[in-house]
A and B are shown apart, each in its own frame.
Chain A
Amino acid sequence: MINFSNVTKVYKSGTEALKNVDLEIKRGEFAFVIGPSGSGKSTMIRLIMKEEEPTGGELFVNGIDTRDIDRYEVPHFRRKIGVVFQDYKLLQNKTAYQNIAFALRVTNTPGRQIRKMVPQLLSVVGLLDKANDFPCEMSGGEQQRVALARAIAHNPDLLIADEPTGNLDPHTSLGIMNLIYKINQMGTTVMVATHDQTIVDTFRQRVIVLSEGRITRDVPEGIYGD
């Protein structure tokens, strides 16, 4: 699903964010990416989304060399990748329902289909009763659920979460991670960048450790510490 082959990323500022990274995440896998701040987790995600280009090596996503995706294909490529962020990135002037509908609408989904899909997505994340609430009326956990519903709206092959529980209390975090795990169980490949030790230790999934742009540890069913 994701294949880094000797990937290096040097930002224009000169920062070497990733150094000779080799990594394969198979279809259907669940992987945590951990590491201290500045170790390159978000950079990895940006490369996968083709928000940034590797400055060295090759990166395949879903069997496609990301270099071969031209700018007109990028949107279609991204529809097959769902992402959630620490800050949810919801539109404040739109309800839960409208936030999800917006994502479908701007990708040319017919209205009839949107009206059918949004309630389904809301029920997957357990928020059917909050459909008409605005983000400011929802808890952080609920907002992140809306973001998750939006992320899977296009039935993506890959779900990427960049510190999805960074702003949430331990209990709520667990709820969000359970939901992400459920999505993984439905067949979506999942990659979660996190600082959250409890979660990593609870779920016992593959753990990839980044340190100063290099992979220093990569174990199946791992824990946060050594």
Chain B
Amino acid sequence: MHIIGEVITNLNKNRVLTITSIFTVFIMLMLVGVFGIFLLNISYNSEYMDNMLEIRIFIDPNADEYRENRVREALLSDNRIDYLAFQSKEQAFEDAKEIYDKEVIEGLGPDFLPASYTVRLREEVDADKFVAFAEGIPDVYQVDYHAGSFEFAVSLANWVNLVSGILAMLLGVLSLFLISNTIRLTMASRSAEVIIMKFIGATESRIKLPFLIEGITIGFLGAAISSVVVGLVYNRIHDWFYSLGVDEVFLSGLSLVPVRETVLLVIIVFFGLGIMLGMFGSMMAIRKNLKV
């Protein structure tokens, strides 16, 4: 109890540096949070990402059975294809009724949507060449391939990962030094106390304890503030995302990690990192400046 009082008094004495330290921990954790949550959501949507590698080949809705079969044969005889699935007009119609406004779809009638093939290529195959080939098959009127956005997503993820990783690391080092400096100052302001504690026989750990707790408090506060901010912001994004209509085609099929899971993970990671930073910062200061 008394130690808590000591800690509060000391941190209050060096308010500016204490707040700066807390703020640096906060910024660092925010970065960790942003890129962590981004990566978390990417892996959460890995199936969706995977589906981006699929090629959809749509057959002219006016084609008769004979012409549809021609397309089928062209694809079946192609050994670049690893996997092939057919979706008839009727299936497309049923699926559409589930996703979009039922009445609108029914009004359009079952002939409105084209039959299609979903193709997955063998790995070594050049997808662009295949797409060009598929577009050339008679009665194929559209070929969809989203690998471009897939590659974009992957490279964006890698960049975010790299940049925020480096920044977070730099900020981590910075906060370590700031915490250590804060503790060094509180040590200086309490040097008389430390001297007295030594000659009256206080143990090493009792002398060091308040300084260690001071560092941990800084890390703890940084973690608390950033947890709240990240939690609130993510909750906002989550709400916004799911308030978007399904007609935002790009988003259909994408989903976000639930808020509760995310916040729980954020709290564990933030408090773990914050407390560790605080502890190491204090330990640095203690090692350098406190000869017991």
* Count of chain B residues with a beta carbon within 8 Å of a chain A beta carbon: 16
Contact of B201 among A51, A91, A92, A107 (CB under 8 A): A107
B193 contacts A91, CB within 8 Å?
Answer: yes
The complex places the Cα of A154 from the Cα of B193 at a distance, in Å, of 18
Please give 11 more A-B residue pairs, beta carbons under 8 A apart, in addition to A106-B197, A153-B200.
A51-B198, A51-B199, A75-B204, A79-B200, A89-B192, A89-B196, A89-B199, A92-B192, A103-B196, A103-B200, A107-B200
B200 contacts A150, CB within 8 Å?
Answer: yes
Q: A105-B2, A106-B206 are in contact. Are A78 and B200 (CB under 8 A)?
A: yes
Cβ of A209 within 8 Å of any chain B Cβ, yes or no, is: no
Nearest opposing residue in chain B for A79, CB measure:
B201
Contact of A78 among B195, B199, B207 (CB under 8 A): B199
B202 contacts A107, CB within 8 Å?
Answer: yes
Complex contacts, A108 vs chain B, CB 8 Å: 206
The complex places the Cα of A150 from the Cα of B199 at a distance, in Å, of 11
The complex places the Cα of A150 from the Cα of B198 at a distance, in Å, of 13
* CB contact list, A131-159 vs B, under 8 A: 150, 153-154
Cβ of B255 within 8 Å of any chain A Cβ, yes or no, is: no
* CB contact list, A39-70 vs B, under 8 A: 49, 51
Nearest opposing residue in chain B for A77, CB measure:
B201
Cβ of A116 within 8 Å of any chain B Cβ, yes or no, is: no
Contact of A89 among B195, B201, B202, B206 (CB under 8 A): B195
| A-side interface mostly | loop
- Residues of A that sit less than 8 Å from B by CB: 49, 51, 71-72, 75-79, 83, 89, 91-92, 102-103, 105-108, 150, 153-154
B201 contacts A154, CB within 8 Å?
Answer: yes
Provide 12 A-B residue pairs closer than 8 Å at the C-beta atoms, listed in order of the A residue. Answer: A49-B199, A51-B198, A75-B201, A75-B202, A76-B201, A79-B200, A103-B200, A105-B2, A106-B200, A106-B202, A107-B201, A107-B206
The complex places the Cα of A106 from the Cα of B207 at a distance, in Å, of 8
Contact of B204 among A72, A89, A107, A150 (CB under 8 A): A72
Smallest beta-carbon distance B181→chain A, Å: 23
> Which of A51, A92, A106, A153 has most chain B Cβ within 10 Å?
A106
